[in-house]
A and B are shown apart, each in its own frame.
Chain A
Amino acid sequence: MRWRNTDQSYGILAQGLHWLIAVLVFAQLGLGLYAAGLPLGIARLEWLTRHKSLGLAVLALVLLRLLWRLVSAPPALPESMSKRERFAAVTTHRLLYALLIAAPLAGWLYASAAGLSVNWFGLFQVPDLVAKNAHRAALYKSLHHGFVALLALLLVGHIGAALRHAFVLRDRIMHRMLPWTRPPA
Chain B
Amino acid sequence: MMYRGGVVLVLVVAAASLPAHAEDCRSVDPARSSVSFELEQAGSPFRGDFRRFGGEVCLSGTGATRIEVWLDPASVDAGLPEIDAALKGSDFFAVERYPRVAYSSRSIESTAPMQIARGMLKMKGESRPLDVPFSLRRADGHVVLSGTLILDRLKYGIGTGEWSNTKWLGGEVKVKFSATLSGPS
Contact = CB atoms under 8 A, between A and B. Distances in A.
A135 B116 CA distance: 40
A31 B41 CA distance: 19
Given A45-B41, A49-B168, A116-B44, 4 more contacts: A40-B86, A43-B162, A116-B46, A132-B79
A41 interface: yes
Contacts of B45: 117
Contacts of B41: 45, 116
Nearest to A120: B43
B149 interface: no
Q: Give the interface SS of chain B, mostly helix, strand, loop or mixed.
A: mixed
Contact of B80 (A43, A119, A134): A134
A42 B168 contact: yes
A114 B79 contact: yes
A40 B80 CA distance: 12
Contacts of A115: 46-47, 78-80
A47 to B, nearest CB: 10
Contact of A49 (B42, B47, B79): B42
A45 B44 contact: no
A133 B82 CA distance: 14
A148 interface: no
What size tier do the contact residues of chain B reach?
A: 10 to 19
B89 to A, nearest CB: 10
A134 B81 CA distance: 8
A101 interface: no
B177 interface: no
A42 B46 contact: no
B44, B79, B169 interface centre (most CB from chain A within 10 Å): B44
B114 interface: no
A114 B163 contact: no
A46 interface: yes
Interface string B142-168: 000000000000000000001101001
A137 interface: yes
Interface string A113-128: 0111111001001000
A46 B80 contact: no
21 contacts: A40-B86, A42-B162, A42-B168, A42-B169, A43-B162, A45-B42, A45-B168, A46-B168, A115-B47, A115-B80, A116-B42, A116-B46, A117-B46, A118-B44, A119-B42, A119-B43, A119-B44, A132-B79, A134-B80, A137-B79, A137-B80
